[in-house]
Chains A and B, each alone.
Chain A
């Protein structure tokens, strides 16, 4: 019986980190959907979100509840600057060139962070109570539960927006045919900016939640690679795919590291990627016309 309880606890922890994966995957999906750019710097923007929160809360001594929105806004501003300064001038270039630019951007952000805050891991000021939470008899870390709820709410809001807000429809239209959208009166450059702003703000928010659980370090952007696995498996242009894929990968990673050992986590994660690419190269929920990189 206690084995089963343990399994439930492991699974709940997996769902918690899975929700963060889904949230990060959402950042990939939003940007890809609007601009057809795979932004490999999402992981580093996530990391920077954690550090911005650290700077506002620990450095400037602000209340965590003020530092949180400031750091998210900071991520959004970074997104706007990157889109306007780097991505838009590359409009019409080959997808692979833009992709490589985002790889470079990721490295620049890591270097920038190490210059300012140093390479050592740090822990974020506590803003979520550490009191344990029990679901029935199963123990869940409160931080992980909070991360799960926040991620679930944010993803729910995005799903609603895409269905009911005309801006969401404009984004879908832009993704389908930029020229047609432009001539239908949709402000295509504006859609690009908004997608980058919201995508990067989402990544920054995920970074704060992730940092609250496991601390921050310049290398935490690696988390973005797991999220990339989620979007590739779930479909680069599918919000639902990000949600389902994120939760599934979180569970699988949690089970793997508990029952097989932590060293198997990456083997299994990227093994899933390889198998998925062999079976469904456009993702489980994605549309068929995505080009392969």
Chain B
């Protein structure tokens, strides 16, 4: 591959994962926490694709597609929970949500 080798992709992936971690830990809005989780999942996808390119096999790419499907499912359930919380007239603040009881 002409251009950057795999280590460059891995560094971007690691930085992106840390950004996502910081977002999950710092923000209180469950919506932003979900968005940060998406960043973390995508950085893992980038690492999978970089390693698939390194070894010349497709398994990493297949895994990345499965991760994409899992991420889509997670968004559906997460957004459903957020809408349910909002309908209960509760605060959308992960520091104040202490009970799971519906």
> Do these two chains interact?
no
**Chain A residues in the interface with B (C-beta under 8 A):** none
| Chain B residues in the interface with A (C-beta under 8 A) | none
